């Protein structure tokens, strides 16, 4: 079943995004970090489209999950990814299908720590296609979150290039972004597994900074 994002209704899209932002603001939302991670994640999604083949409806769910992934901090920093899952699942989502809520919640749950497994209860009600969505969206989100490890928006943009069995990420950032580089690679495990690619990453100074 396609989501309403695939039907091209701008009014509905705006209403859905407004609902996501309302839920985020009801909880402990670090807006700057969440928006920056979301922008990096969407950039990766778009650049990797020839590889993953997913369309606008999946992209929209990635955007919404990017906004919501850290709202579990309201409960506790420890295990906040699990708290984010529970908050998303418990919220009221007019205009969203049940499976869309489950995809968002599961992708938020797997944006850190261990990788998803087919026996996980968070995936139990999703079919194999939507489980694939969770793996891809969470995989992208993990890398994007790693690229803002310090929450200082140091990585200005990211370039992704696939060559043979390798995904090369170039993080365009100013001086002092070594931690972002480290964690982008550290958290690339799920994306590498999902796409069947080896992930490499490097830093590049912005034009004019060299």
Task: Confirm whether 134 is domain-assigned.
Answer: yes
Strands in 155-163's sheet, in edge-to-edge order, are: 155-163, 166-173, 198-204
Task: Please state the pTM of the whole predicted model.
Answer: 0.91
Q: How far apart are alpha carbons 74 and 81 in whole angstroms?
A: 11
- Under 8 Å CB-to-CB from 40, ≥6 apart: which residues? 144, 147, 148, 155, 157, 158
Tokens at 88, concatenated: 């998303």
Reported as a single tens digit per residue, the pLDDT across 74-131 is 886 776 778 899 999 999 999 999 999 999 999 999 987 788 888 778 888 999 999 9
Contact 23, 71 (CB under 8 A): yes
Reported as a single tens digit per residue, the pLDDT across 8-21 is 578 888 999 999 99
Q: What is the CA radius of gyration of the chain?
A: 16
Reported as a single tens digit per residue, the pLDDT across 136-191 is 999 999 999 999 999 999 999 999 999 999 999 999 999 999 999 999 999 999 99
The predicted pLDDT at position 208 comes to: 62
Task: Confirm whether 194 is domain-assigned.
Answer: no
Task: Confirm whether 14 is domain-assigned.
Answer: yes
pLDDT bracket for residue 207 (50, 70, 90): confident
The predicted pLDDT at position 209 comes to: 58
Task: Confirm whether 192 is domain-assigned.
Answer: no
Task: Confirm whether 159 is domain-assigned.
Answer: no
Reported as a single tens digit per residue, the pLDDT across 25-79 is 999 889 999 999 999 999 999 999 999 999 999 999 999 999 999 998 788 677 6
Distance from the Cα of residue 41 to its chain's centroid: 5
The predicted pLDDT at position 153 comes to: 97
CA distances from residue 175 to 11, 24, 90, 172, 208 in whole angstroms, order as listed: 42, 31, 41, 10, 13
- Helix (H, G, I), strand (E, B), or coil: what is residue 65? helix
- Helix (H, G, I), strand (E, B), or coil: what is residue 137? helix
Task: Confirm whether 13 is domain-assigned.
Answer: yes
Task: Confirm whether 76 is domain-assigned.
Answer: yes
Domain count, the chain: 1
Q: What is the CATH number of the domain that holds 21?
A: 1.10.3210.10
Range of the domain at 119: 4-149
């Amino acid at each position: 079943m396609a989501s309403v994002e695939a039907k091209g209704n701008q009014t509905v899209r705006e209403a859905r995004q407004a609902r996501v932002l309302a839920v985020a603001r009801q909880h402990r939302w670090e807006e700057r970090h969440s928006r920056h991670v979301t922008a990096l994640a969407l950039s990766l999604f778009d650049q990797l489209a020839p590889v993953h083949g997913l369309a606008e409806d999946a992209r929209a769910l990635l955007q919404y999950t990017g906004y919501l992934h850290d709202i579990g901090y309201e409960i506790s920093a420890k295990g906040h990814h699990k708290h984010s899952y529970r908050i998303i699942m418990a919220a009221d989502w007019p205009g969203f299908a049940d499976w869309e809520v489950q995809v968002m919640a599961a992708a938020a749950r797997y944006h850190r720590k261990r990788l998803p497994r087919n026996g996980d209860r968070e995936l139990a009600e999703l079919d194999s296609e939507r489980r694939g969505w969770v793996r891809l969206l969470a995989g992208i989100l993990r890398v994007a979150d790693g690229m803002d490890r310090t929450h200082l928006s140091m990585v200005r943009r990211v370039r992704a290039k696939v060559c043979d069995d390798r995904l090369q990420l170039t993080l365009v950032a100013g001086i002092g972004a070594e931690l972002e580089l480290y964690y982008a690679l550290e958290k690339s495990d799920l994306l590498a597994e999902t796409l069947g690619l080896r992930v490499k990453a490097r830093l590049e100074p912005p034009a004019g900074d060299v």
